């Protein structure tokens, strides 16, 4: 049986994005997780004695431009070279953009397909690997016509970095449809670009292996590389876990938790359950949801609850809190007509006055100017976003104030 390991989108040395990393003990546990993922992939390749490692683009991250990244990569490829394991690599949009790509002197066991495409026979087998690289950071047209015809009576694997159909409003990268791929006559399409793992078809296999290491809460869940087992011309697949850190979102319903102790117990239980089921290290985004009589209490003490959650999570030794959000519905029975309720109504009214919202927008603009430019750009792609954000923050601030004032009266 021949094994081939397929991965893509390593985004090497792309940093994790989580406030959990503010915690120094967390930093000690997990550092440079994308490197850890690559090491795991190489470890697996060596221990499973694979015939080849396929990297379907985005080995580098657009932003990570340190030569050290390249040096690290070379050491890992050298490990494979020592075991005579070839690496097949096509450049994705990030690689094309990253200047390091051109500067690295990769070991001889690494075959890099160029933008004109090509094919290579896996030594001692009847397996052919075809591939086409991105030549620039954009590939608005399909790259399929650059592939040569499959070799008859052989197993043909195609490597392509593509956004497939793409999503409306987003840049398309080497667009093509599943049907296009099926018609090419290959046995396995080793794809890359989309970070969520998905098997699009099994005849032929069309596989997006997903990112080996998620970098923020948007890339949550355990991640993997895809292992091909080829026997008697048949290909079967399995997943190889790769992520060193797993991002998770979890909501805890506080509706029935009518006392602090109950809420604390529920947190502890939740963490214990998550700790038992999840991988070795988990970055958790926790949200309090539901409708509680203690709505105002919880909101008032949100700093306390956040700290409690962090502390309890830390006790598990594997869970680390990224953020705690309070998505609570206010209690409906608000028949009391006291001063704070009146204040709440006034605040709600002021919030929607253009003068006030203008002031808030100004303040937001001022403080955001303290941030690095790229963060601002990410946060506020356009003017509407600014207003939406200002409105959202004001709403939260108002709710928090009401909670505090109610707390003061209790």
Are 397 and 357 a contacting pair, CB within 8 Å? Answer: no
Specify the stretch interacting with other proteins by CB under 8 A; choose among 136-144, 187-195, 260-268, 344-352.
344-352
DSSP labels, 281-307:
SEEEEEEEEEE-TTHHHHHHTHHHHHH
| Contact (Cβ atoms closer than 8 angstroms) between residue 133 and residue 112 | yes
- CA–CA–CA angle 193, 199, 202 (5° rounding): 130
Q: Rounded to whole angstroms, how far apart are CA atoms 323 and 304?
A: 13
Q: Quick check: 79 binds other proteins (CB under 8 A)?
A: no
Query: Do the beta carbons of residue 282 and residue 317 sit within 8 Å?
Result: no
Judged by CB under 8 A, which stretch of 8-16, 135-143, 176-184, 275-283 contacts other proteins? 8-16
Tell whether residue 360 is a contact of other proteins (CB under 8 A).
yes
CB of 374 to other proteins, least distance (A): 8
Decide: is 17 part of the binding site for other proteins (CB under 8 A): yes
Contact present, 57 and 134 (Cβ < 8 Å): yes
Shortest distance, CB of residue 168 to other proteins, whole angstroms?
A: 28
CA 372, CA 265: separation in Å to the nearest integer? 40
Residue 354 binds other proteins, judged by CB under 8 A = no
With a CB cutoff of 8 Å and minimum separation 6, the contacts of 396 are none
Looking at the Cβ atoms of 221 and 407, the one nearer to other proteins is 407
Residue 350 within binding range of other proteins, rule CB under 8 A? yes
Q: Which stretch binds other proteins (CB under 8 A): 62-70, 163-171, 179-187, 276-284?
A: 62-70
Site string for other proteins, 242-281 (x = CB under 8 A): ----------------------------------------
If one asks whether residue 200 binds other proteins (CB under 8 A), the answer comes out as no
Figure out which of the listed residues 52, 286, 299, 390 binds other proteins, where binding follows CB under 8 A: 390
Q: Are 100 and 13 in contact (CB under 8 A)?
A: no
In total, the chain counts a number of residues equal to 410
- Compute the least distance from the CB of residue 333 to other proteins, in Å: 18
Residue from 371, 377, 385, 388 touching other proteins (CB under 8 A): that is: 371
Q: State the chain's maximal CA–CA distance in angstroms.
A: 84
Asked if residue 67 binds other proteins (CB under 8 A), the reply is yes
Among 83, 149, 363, 377, binds other proteins (CB under 8 A): 363
Structure tokens given for 282: 């988990």
327 contacts other proteins (rule: CB under 8 A): no
Indicate which single residue of 18, 44, 109, 163 sits in contact with other proteins (rule: CB under 8 A).
Answer: 18
Which stretch, 31-39, 114-122, 183-191, 306-314, contacts other proteins (CB under 8 A)?
A: 31-39
Stretch of 85-93, 151-159, 192-200, 391-399 contacting other proteins, by CB under 8 A: 391-399
Residue 329 — φ and ψ, nearest 5°?
A: -90, 135
Rounded-to-integer distance, Cα 370 and Cα 135, Å: 37
Binding residue for other proteins, selected from 71, 149, 304, 388, defined by CB under 8 A: 71
Strand order in the sheet with 282-291: 246-253, 282-291, 319-329
Residue nearer to other proteins on the CB measure, 31 or 121: 31
- Considering only residues 89 to 108 of the shown chain, the ones binding other proteins according to CB under 8 A are 98-100, 103
- First and final C-alpha spacing in the chain: 71
Q: Tokens in use for 9?
A: 């989108």
199 lies in the site for other proteins, by CB under 8 A? no
- What φ, ψ does residue 74 adopt, rounded to 5°? -60, -40
Strands 87-90 and 52-56: parallel
In the complex, the residues that contact other proteins under the rule CB under 8 A are 13, 15-19, 21-22, 27, 31-32, 34-35, 64-75, 98-100, 103, 323, 339, 342-343, 346-347, 350-351, 356, 359-360, 363-364, 367-368, 370-372, 375, 379, 389-390, 393-394, 396-401, 404-405, 407-409
């Amino acid at each position: 049986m021949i094994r081939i390991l397929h991965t893509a989108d390593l985004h090497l040395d792309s940093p994790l994005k989580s406030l959990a990393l503010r915690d120094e003990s967390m930093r000690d546990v997990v550092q440079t997780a994308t490197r850890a993922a690559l090491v795991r992939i190489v470890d697996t390749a060596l221990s499973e004695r694979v015939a080849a490692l396929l990297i379907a683009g985005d080995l580098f991250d657009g932003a990570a431009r340190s030569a050290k990244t390249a040096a690290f990569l070379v050491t890992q490829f050298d490990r494979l070279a020592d075991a005579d394991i070839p690496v097949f690599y096509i450049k994705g949009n990030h690689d094309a953009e990253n200047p390091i790509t051109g500067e690295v002197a990769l070991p001889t066991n690494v075959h890099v397909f160029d933008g004109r495409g090509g094919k290579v026979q896996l030594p001692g087998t009847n397996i052919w690997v075809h591939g086409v690289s991105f030549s620039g950071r954009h590939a608005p047209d399909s790259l399929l016509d650059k592939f040569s015809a499959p070799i008859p009576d052989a197993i043909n694997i195609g490597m392509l970095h593509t956004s497939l159909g793409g999503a409306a409003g987003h840049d398309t990268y080497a667009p093509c449809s599943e049907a296009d791929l099926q018609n090419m006559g290959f046995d396995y399409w080793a794809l890359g670009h989309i970070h969520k793992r998905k098997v699009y078809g099994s005849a032929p296999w069309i596989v997006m292996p997903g990112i080996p290491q998620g970098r923020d809460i948007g890339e949550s869940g355990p991640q993997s590389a895809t292992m091909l087992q080829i026997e008697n011309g048949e290909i079967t697949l399995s997943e190889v876990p790769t992520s060193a850190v797993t991002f998770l979102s979890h909501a805890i319903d506080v509706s029935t938790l009518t006392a602090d102790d109950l809420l604390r117990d529920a947190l502890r239980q939740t963490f214990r359950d998550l700790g038992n089921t999840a991988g070795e290290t988990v970055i958790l985004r926790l949200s309090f949801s539901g409708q509680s009589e203690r709505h105002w209490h919880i909101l008032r003490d949100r700093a306390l609850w956040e700290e409690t959650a962090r502390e309890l999570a830390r006790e598990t030794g594997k869970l680390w809190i990224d953020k705690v959000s309070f998505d609570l519905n206010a209690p409906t029975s608000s028949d009391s007509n006291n001063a704070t309720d009146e204040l709440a109504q006034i605040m709600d009214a002021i919030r929607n006055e253009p003068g006030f919202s203008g002031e808030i927008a100004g303040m937001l603009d001022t403080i955001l100017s303290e941030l690095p430019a790229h963060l601002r750009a990410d946060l506020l792609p356009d003017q509407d976003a600014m207003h939406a954000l200002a409105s959202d923050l004001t709403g939260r601030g108002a709710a928090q104030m009401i909670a505090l004032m109610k707390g003061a009266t209790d």
